[in-house]
Amino acid sequence: MDWTGSHGWMGIGWIFMLLFWGLLIIGLFAIIRWLSTSARQSHRDAEKRALETLKDRYARGEIDREEYEQKRRDIDR
């Protein structure tokens, strides 16, 4: 026993426990945020590719203006 009446490091063990749980919770939030951000980004990329394909088809004359406008509205939803 030392002069504080505790048994060495055991007296401040609660600090390490709080630090551990705090880092664990922060890490979980960071992972969840990263996953949701990457999912949104891949969805936006898919929309961009679809719109580019649609523009190319319209430019080549494969579809008319009415069909182009309808499909563009469908993609933008």
Q: How does pLDDT run across 35-63, given as a tens digit for each residue?
A: 888 877 877 888 889 899 999 999 999 99
Q: Is residue 54 part of a domain?
A: yes
Q: Is residue 2 part of a domain?
A: no
Q: Is residue 17 part of a domain?
A: yes
Q: Is residue 12 part of a domain?
A: yes
Q: Is residue 36 part of a domain?
A: yes
Range of the domain at 22: 7-75
Average pLDDT over residues 11-37: 90
3 pLDDT above the threshold of 60: no
Q: How many domains in the chain?
A: 1
Q: At what angle do helices 65-76 and 13-60 cross, to 10 degrees?
A: 170
Specify the pLDDT at position 45: 82
Q: Is residue 1 part of a domain?
A: no
User: 0.75 cut: is pTM over it?
Assistant: no
Q: Is residue 57 part of a domain?
A: yes
How far apart are alpha carbons 17 and 19 in whole angstroms?
Answer: 5
